[in-house]
Amino acid sequence: MTVLERLLFDYSREGRTAYSLPGLDVPELPVENLLPGARLRSDNTLPELSEIDIVRHYHRLSILNHHVDKGFYPLGSCTMKYNPKVNEDLCRLPGLLALHPLQPAETIQGALRLMYELAEYLKEISGLDAVSLQPAAGAHGELTGVMMIRKYFEKKGENRTRVLVPDSAHGTNPATVTLSGFQPVPLASNEKGQIDPAALEKALDDSFACFMITNPNTLGIFEKDIRAISEIAHRKGVLLYMDGANLNAYMGYVRPGDIGFDCIHFNLHKTFSTPHGGGGPGSGPVGVKKLLEPFLPVPIVTKWSSGQVAECRPPDSLDHSTTGPLDHYSLDYNRPDSIGKVLAFFGNFSVMVRAYVYIRMLGAQGLKDVSECAVLNANYAKAALAGTYGLKYTDHCMHEVVLDGTPFKEYGVRTLDIAKRLLDNGVHAPTVYFPLIVPEALMIEPTETESREALDDFIAIMKRIAQEAKENPQLLHDAPLRTPVRRLDEAKASRELDVAYRNTKTQE
Ligand SMILES: *Cc1c(COP(=O)(O)O)cnc(C)c1O
């Protein structure tokens, strides 16, 4: 086994430190006296390192990995846009960073205001009536949404057991349906990669609770018949859920609430710029129409003005008499129909701060510009590469385009080989073999933060690889040649999960 970078434990040397403090000028106390009741574990062996050991370790790791600060990252459906560094500064403001989730509400008014206002912005952007910021990621938002829909029908006394999911939906959608205790039923999309209202009319009956759509769908195509779709679903008493992870395609242009959706989730870490991938923190707020509002997770941040009688004032709320005419924020737990909690405390607060900063910084016009440029960039790549690569669905795309590697099969080259060769060129691979309805799918999402020059470079690389596929297929089978590790077993890590720490030095 080649070890590219050892663990910090392996660099540890007894007594080495990354800090220096002046000597004690007061009598030393036993630890128990310093921290009454606290348990400081001395048996917890942590690496002992100098500052330079640590800096070099993380710097080397950052070079081994591909990331959006290093190069183009057109990983379809993941919206790997550049994340402005100002977000990072502001979410680390000491007043925000040092908050404790158990602090009384009167001591965290600013944080509550930020959450309240972020929810208001998301309501405005989505055209929905209420928002919960609690879910920790997109898939978690889906689960929260579908659980609310479940409770809604339970309350109505309707026994609906199924959820219809088009074959162009994101994979998390049917997974969510199953996890929430519903049965997912697939709906085939038509030759344009869209939902056919006539097919929907036939498929839906009153055994369905919900029709769950990704819009634009995973082909990057907007559902043009969405109004008809909404009419059919609602006529049959079926609620309409939108996977809103692709909101980058039309912020400020289309509001899901206006086109019939009852419930959507947002991916703050995608659309509203938090570094993600590699399991970093996410946030997947859900937005709902009035009919689902009672079921939102607790707590909800509420705002009330001085003199106004808060309906469900928590015990730690501010005393009106002393605070003047300011707005106050509190946490409303008194919601009898709530599905309960879906995460500890309030959600991933620091991701909310980043999203808040991003929205405030761009403003309404800025968000529209984001979507416009995202769509323009995807269509630019589509137009430039359509002659070289296959294109099964030719309609105007939104923020991403799905190309097809089928034309290279006759040379023995598959999409996976093309993706691996891209790595040799310093580009992250697109999403491959997804959506399933394009056999050799290459799903490309450039995002709005890439320049014309970056796109032209990418297009040139894609064309060169297409040429290589025809002239030297073996090169593509061998790729990647220039990365720190060569071709990996795609499934081994998840099939033989092994995350235990071992001293890599003794293993060579
Ligand atoms: C990313 C994504 C999800 C899942 O979101 P996570 O935050 O990764 O859980 C769901 N649907 C679509 C369309 C996505 O792109």
Question: For 223-262, what is each residue's pLDDT tens digit?
Answer: 999 999 999 999 999 999 999 999 999 999 999 999 999 9
Asked if the model's pLDDT at residue 3 lies above 90, the reply is: no
Assess whether the C-beta atom of 212 lies below 6 angstroms from ligand 1: no
Q: Do 374 and 335 fall within a single domain?
A: no
Assess whether the C-beta atom of 284 lies below 6 angstroms from ligand 1: yes
Assess whether the C-beta atom of 133 lies below 6 angstroms from ligand 1: no
Assess whether the C-beta atom of 246 lies below 6 angstroms from ligand 1: yes
Domain boundary among 357, 392, 426: 357
Q: Please give the residue that has the higher pLDDT: either 77 or 65.
A: 77
Token representation of residue 298 = 């607790």
Domain boundary among 357, 378, 401: 357
Q: Do 310 and 410 fall within a single domain?
A: no
- For residue 311, name the pLDDT band (cuts at 50, 70, 90): very low
Instruction: Confirm whether 34 is domain-assigned.
Output: no
- Closest ligand 1 atom to residue 243 Cα is 11
- For residue 508, name the pLDDT band (cuts at 50, 70, 90): very low
Assess whether the C-beta atom of 425 lies below 6 angstroms from ligand 1: no
CATH number at residue 434: 3.90.1150.10
Per residue in 162-182, pLDDT (tens digit) is: 999 999 999 999 999 999 999
Cα separation of 330 and 201, whole Å? 45
Residue pair 377/309 in contact by the 8 Å Cβ criterion: no
Residue pair 441/397 in contact by the 8 Å Cβ criterion: no
Asked if the model's pLDDT at residue 1 lies above 60, the reply is: no
Cα separation of 231 and 264, whole Å? 17
Location of structure tokens 């405030």: 360
Domain boundaries, position 383: 363-495
Instruction: Confirm whether 72 is domain-assigned.
Output: no
Token representation of residue 58 = 């993380």
Q: Do 306 and 370 fall within a single domain?
A: no
Assess whether the C-beta atom of 170 lies below 6 angstroms from ligand 1: yes
Q: Give the H or E element holding residue 123.
A: helix 109-126
- Closest ligand 1 atom to residue 269 Cα is 7
Cα separation of 91 and 71, whole Å? 24
Asked if the model's pLDDT at residue 17 lies above 60, the reply is: yes
- Closest ligand 1 atom to residue 79 Cα is 15
Assess whether the C-beta atom of 169 lies below 6 angstroms from ligand 1: no
Domains: count for the chain: 2
Instruction: Confirm whether 282 is domain-assigned.
Output: yes
Q: Do 251 and 309 fall within a single domain?
A: yes
Instruction: Confirm whether 500 is domain-assigned.
Output: no
The pLDDT score that the predictor gives to residue 308 is 55
Average of per-residue pLDDT across 429-457: 96
**Residues found in the chain:** 508
Q: Please give the residue that has the higher pLDDT: either 357 or 29.
A: 357
Assess whether the C-beta atom of 271 lies below 6 angstroms from ligand 1: no
Q: Do 305 and 372 fall within a single domain?
A: no
Assess whether the C-beta atom of 172 lies below 6 angstroms from ligand 1: yes
Average of per-residue pLDDT across 284-309: 90
Assess whether the C-beta atom of 245 lies below 6 angstroms from ligand 1: yes
Give the residue whose CA is nearest to atom 3 of ligand 1.
Answer: 138
Q: Do 159 and 244 fall within a single domain?
A: yes
CATH number at residue 278: 3.40.640.10
**How far, in Å, from the CA of 170 to the mean position of ligand 1?**
7
Give the residue whose CA is nearest to atom 15 of ligand 1.
Answer: 77
Q: Do 378 and 423 fall within a single domain?
A: yes
The pLDDT score that the predictor gives to residue 128 is 98
**Beta strands across the sheet bearing 431-432:** 401-404, 441-444, 431-432
Asked if the model's pLDDT at residue 187 lies above 50, the reply is: yes
Average of per-residue pLDDT across 28-51: 74
**How far, in Å, from the CA of 266 to the mean position of ligand 1?**
9
Q: Do 343 and 370 fall within a single domain?
A: no
The pLDDT score that the predictor gives to residue 104 is 94
Domain boundary among 326, 357, 388: 357
Q: Do 348 and 306 fall within a single domain?
A: yes
118 DSSP 8-state letter: H
Q: Please give the residue that has the higher pLDDT: either 91 or 36.
A: 91
Instruction: Confirm whether 11 is domain-assigned.
Output: no
Average of per-residue pLDDT across 120-149: 98
- For residue 310, name the pLDDT band (cuts at 50, 70, 90): very low
The pLDDT score that the predictor gives to residue 41 is 64
Instruction: Confirm whether 39 is domain-assigned.
Output: no
Instruction: Confirm whether 36 is domain-assigned.
Output: no
Cα separation of 342 and 95, whole Å? 26
The number of C-alpha atoms within 13 Å of 260 and in the hemisphere containing its C-beta is 22
Mean pLDDT for the chain overall: 92
At 300 the three-state DSSP class reads strand
Q: pTM score, two decimals?
A: 0.90
Cα separation of 382 and 223, whole Å? 19
Q: Do 369 and 395 fall within a single domain?
A: yes
Give the residue whose CA is nearest to atom 2 of ligand 1.
Answer: 245
Average of per-residue pLDDT across 7-24: 91
Assess whether the C-beta atom of 283 lies below 6 angstroms from ligand 1: no
The pLDDT score that the predictor gives to residue 419 is 97
Q: Please give the residue that has the higher pLDDT: either 277 or 86.
A: 86
Give residue 280's identity as a one-letter amino acid code: G
CB atoms within 10 A of CB 367: 21
Q: Do 156 and 299 fall within a single domain?
A: yes
**Beta strands across the sheet bearing 286-288:** 130-132, 286-288, 263-265, 239-243, 208-214, 162-166, 183-187
Phi/psi of residue 263, nearest 5 degrees: -155, 135
Q: Do 347 and 410 fall within a single domain?
A: no
Asked if the model's pLDDT at residue 314 lies above 50, the reply is: no
The pLDDT score that the predictor gives to residue 36 is 57
Asked if the model's pLDDT at residue 319 lies above 80, the reply is: no
Which residue from 160, 233, 249, 139 is spatially nearest to 195, judged by alpha carbons? Answer: 233
Instruction: Confirm whether 73 is domain-assigned.
Output: no
- For residue 504, name the pLDDT band (cuts at 50, 70, 90): low
